[in-house]
């Protein structure tokens, strides 16, 4: 099984209760990569027998780091409307809540369409070396990353005047993109504090919200191709900053908008 599919695999143990297990391939500095936890919570709703429609939004709150081992996810479809469905989710270990989430699923309808945002200018991924983040966390080895702008700073880089990072990213083993994978990629950006300060700064995501624009068919068209991700911070103060990002297909479709609030020290 692909390591991403192992990481988000859930066994249904009771009505609305699913059990999974952390995987060493997804280790972050403390606990697993937050993106894979987001993907796992989304998957819990996706595979629930009452699920209707495709993911429209996901908000995940990181209460405490997961420890290695099993976790339980409760997924509750709080309300099902004609065209959308609202979920609350909670991930716990040994009865202790580690992550909470809400999600909205919905039906895609044929309407007026326009993309007002514009993708960042970027050379082709084939013309940019695959550098990743270096070796400081394990989970990055699952992705192929080619930085257009704002790669993780090296010891001689110093502070950057802007917090923008733009990169091409795809699964390192050619797994095709789906909504769970897109939820994970939403959290692909290393902390903006590293870039602005030109050094490692203790930082961690507190809450992340992703709006999924792409339908199942649109993601199938992307397949295993690169996604162009871009993110920047708005304000850093009092130990927190917020980040806004976008995930684009190579063909110029805005697949998702993603936002997060991050804690930092120093």
Residues that bind its own copies (CB under 8 A): 56-57, 59, 61, 63-64, 78-79, 81, 83-84, 86, 88, 90, 97, 100-102, 104, 106-117, 162-163, 196-197, 206-207, 209, 211, 213, 215, 232-240, 242, 244, 246, 254, 257, 259, 261, 263-266
Shortest Cβ distance from residue 142 to its own copies (Å)? 27
Q: Are 3 and 59 in contact (CB under 8 A)?
A: no
The span from the CA of 69 to the CA of 108, in Å, is 37
Q: How far is the CB of 89 from its own copies (least distance, A)?
A: 10
CB closer to its own copies, 107 vs 123: 107
Which of residues 6 and 234 has its CB atom nearest to its own copies in the complex? 234
Give the shortest CB-3-to-its own copies separation in angstroms. 29
Give whole-number Cα distances, 220 to 97, 122, 195, 216, in Å: 34, 23, 33, 6
CA atoms within 13 A on the CB side of 96: 10
The least CB distance from residue 144 to its own copies, in Å, is 26
Residue with tokens 């081992």: 69
| Cβ-based nearer residue to its own copies, 13 or 64 | 64
Tokens 């930092």 identify what position? 264
146 versus 232: smaller Cβ distance to its own copies: 232
Q: 116-151: string of b/e by CB count within 10 Å (b at 16+)? A: eeebeebeebeebeeebbeeeebbbebbbbbbbebb
Q: How far apart are CA 49 and CA 47, in angstroms?
A: 6
Q: How far is the CB of 127 from its own copies (least distance, A)?
A: 27
The smaller minimum CB distance to its own copies, of residues 142 and 230, is found at 230
């Amino acid at each position: 099984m692909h390591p991403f599919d192992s990481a988000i695999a859930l066994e249904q143990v009771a009505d609305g209760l699913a059990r999974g297990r952390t995987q060493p391939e997804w280790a972050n500095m403390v606990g697993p990569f937050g993106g894979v936890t987001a993907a796992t919570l989304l998957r819990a709703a996706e595979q629930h027998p009452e699920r209707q429609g495709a993911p429209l939004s996901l908000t995940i709150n990181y209460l405490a780091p997961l420890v290695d081992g099993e976790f339980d996810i409760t997924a509750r479809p709080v309300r099902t409307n004609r065209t959308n469905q609202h979920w609350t989710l909670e991930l716990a270990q040994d009865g202790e809540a580690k992550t909470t989430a809400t999600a909205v699923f919905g039906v895609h309808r044929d309407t007026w369409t326009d993309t007002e945002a514009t993708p960042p200018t970027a050379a082709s991924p084939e013309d940019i070396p695959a550098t990743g983040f270096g070796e400081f966390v394990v989970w990055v080895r699952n992705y192929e990353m080619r930085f257009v702008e704002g790669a993780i700073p090296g010891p001689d880089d110093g502070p950057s005047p802007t917090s923008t990072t733009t990169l091409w990213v795809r699964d390192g083993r050619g797994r095709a993109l789906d909504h769970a994978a897109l939820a994970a990629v939403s959290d692909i950006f290393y902390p903006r504090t590293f870039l602005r300060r030109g050094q490692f700064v203790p930082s961690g995501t507190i809450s992340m919200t992703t709006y999924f624009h792409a339908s199942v068919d649109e993601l199938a068209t992307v397949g295993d191709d690169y996604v162009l991700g871009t993110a920047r911070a708005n304000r850093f103060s009092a130990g927190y900053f917020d980040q806004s990002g976008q995930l684009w297909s190579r063909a110029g479709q805005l697949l998702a908008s993603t936002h997060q609030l991050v804690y930092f020290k120093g």
